[in-house]
């Protein structure tokens, strides 16, 4: 019985193999199409746009360009419905010849047509020229301009002792495509340290490394275990009434919204106060937004706000008794409209947290007053997941 069933199976298998052999276009002629003509070139940062006229051939299938990228031969195809090819990923500006060949459905190739291109420097080089690195609290801060919104990586390196030998290691990588980029490197002592920075893109183009010596400003993470709920006369506690949204959640070192559905702070009203439990000259602070994509950079997250402080509890709703610490604004990296996000927005605002530096001449304070002037969706309450602060308790 086994032989009877196996034989039909082998027949089916052989038939399937024969059918596989038939897949694809059999050559129907050996007549090549005419060459590509009328080529014009528009050179752009990191590439070139080649426009052309396709040959008059009824079975024309595609146009193939051949050129060099980072020392390697690259082939790029455009369908018969296109009349241009966009070359990308080219580095430093230099002239090279690009060959275009037309192919028909029988894979007949036309005679090659060549055109010279001289792409402008890739965006990474202009970005490096715009980049400013300066000393910051606990490290350095980088600001750069990426006018083409190119997909780039900014890498910061510094020396670390490894196995008894100092060598350069990566201190941070910033993946960005925003037009105004910002990066901060933290965790270093307030002594002179050399930092280097270079920029690369997804095609393997890399800039030179620019070095500088910077002395980070001293700071330490303020102990959130000392933070306490506190309200002066005239500013009552007005958080949501369930424990999931009490103000204590603002410093519980959690930025997730699970499993209870809420572990952040939600306040009825646009201002609140608390006691840091320690006198400190605040250097910077960070807010982690809620993780829900329909609420991130939306609804009740603060967009523009003020911080006030006091070294003593003898204050009230009257601002005359408070010390003004600064006005701050939340910035969405992508600059997309309300309700739209990209991965960089989520990484920046929720996972990493959005940071602000305090003025260097800020006064030491213990009691904090947060006054929201505007939320992202014009809500009349305030919500956030976590608040962290750094500073100098010895000032």
Residue 199 vs residues 42, 127, 149, 160, 370: alpha-carbon distances, Å: 25, 8, 14, 21, 38
Domains and CATH numbers, the chain: 37-117 (2.60.40.10), 123-214 (2.60.40), 220-392 (2.60.120.260)
Q: What is the pLDDT of residue 261?
A: 56
Q: What is the pLDDT of residues 288-320, one digit of tens each?
A: 999 999 999 999 999 999 999 999 999 999 999
Q: What is the pLDDT of residue 162?
A: 83
Of residues 29 and 173, more confidently modeled: 173
Say if residues 310 and 323 touch (Cβ distance below 8 Å): yes
Q: How far apart are CA 177 and CA 222, in angstroms?
A: 33
Residue 385 vs residues 239, 279, 289, 375, 381: alpha-carbon distances, Å: 13, 24, 5, 15, 14
| DSSP codes, 157-180 | EEEEEETTEEEEEEEEEEEE--SE
The whole-model pTM stands at 0.75
Closest by alpha carbon to 44, among 181, 153, 147?
147
Burial of residue 314 (CB within 10 Å: 0-12, 13-18, 19+) is exposed
Say if residues 290 and 301 touch (Cβ distance below 8 Å): yes
Residue 174 CB contacts under 8 Å (≥ 6 apart), including other chains: 142, 153, 154, 155, 156, 181, 183
Please give the average per-residue pLDDT across 332-342, as a whole number. Answer: 92
Compute the residue count for the chain: 395
Where are the strands (E) in 203-353, listed by range? 210-214, 220-221, 228-229, 265-267, 271-288, 302-310, 323-329
Burial of residue 225 (CB within 10 Å: 0-12, 13-18, 19+) is exposed
The model's confidence at residue 14, banded by pLDDT at 50, 70 and 90, is very low
First to last CA, the chain: 93
Largest CA distance in the chain: 100
Please give the average per-residue pLDDT across 204-228, as a whole number. Answer: 97
- pLDDT at residue 8 greater than cutoff 50: no
């Amino acid at each position: 019985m086994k032989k009877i069933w196996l034989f039909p199976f082998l027949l089916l298998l052989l038939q399937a193999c024969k059918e596989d052999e038939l897949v694809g276009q059999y050559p129907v002629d050996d007549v090549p199409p005419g060459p590509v003509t009328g080529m014009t070139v528009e050179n752009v940062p990191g590439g070139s746009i080649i426009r052309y006229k396709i040959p008059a051939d009824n079975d024309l299938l595609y146009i193939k360009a051949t050129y060099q990228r980072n020392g390697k031969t690259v082939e790029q195809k455009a369908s018969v419905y296109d009349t241009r090819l966009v070359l990308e990923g080219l580095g430093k500006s230099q002239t090279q010849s690009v060959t275009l060949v037309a192919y028909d459905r029988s894979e007949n190739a036309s005679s090659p047509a060549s055109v010279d291109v001289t792409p402008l420097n890739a965006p990474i080089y202009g970005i490096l020229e715009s980049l400013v690195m300066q000393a910051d609290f606990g490290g350095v801060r980088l600001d750069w301009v990426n006018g083409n919104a190119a997909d780039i990586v900014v890498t910061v390196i510094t020396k670390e002792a490894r196995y008894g030998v100092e060598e350069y290691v990566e201190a941070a990588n910033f993946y960005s495509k925003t037009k105004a980029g910002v990066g901060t490197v933290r965790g270093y002592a307030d002594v002179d340290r050399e930092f280097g920075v270079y920029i690369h893109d997804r095609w393997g183009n890399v800039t030179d490394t620019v070095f500088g010596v910077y002395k980070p400003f001293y700071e330490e993470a303020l102990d959130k275990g000392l933070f306490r709920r506190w309200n002066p006369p005239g500013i009552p506690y007005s958080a949501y009434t369930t424990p999931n949204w009490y103000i204590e959640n603002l410093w519980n070192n959690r930025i997730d919204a699970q499993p209870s559905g809420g572990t952040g702070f939600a306040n009825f009203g646009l201002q609140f106060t608390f006691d840091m439990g320690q006198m400190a000259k605040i250097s910077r602070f960070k807010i982690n937004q809620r993780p829900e994509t329909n609420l991130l950079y939306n609804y009740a997250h603060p967009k523009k706000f003020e911080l006030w402080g006091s070294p003593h509890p003898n204050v009230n709703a009257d601002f005359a008794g408070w010390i003004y610490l600064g006005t701050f604004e939340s910035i969405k990296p992508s600059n997309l409209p309300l309700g739209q996000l990209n991965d960089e927005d989520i990484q920046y605002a929720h996972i990493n947290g959005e940071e602000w530096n305090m003025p260097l001449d800020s006064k030491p304070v213990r009691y904090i007053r947060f006054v929201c002037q505007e939320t992202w969706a014009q809500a009349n309450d305030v919500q956030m997941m976590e608040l962290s602060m750094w500073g100098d308790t010895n000032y």
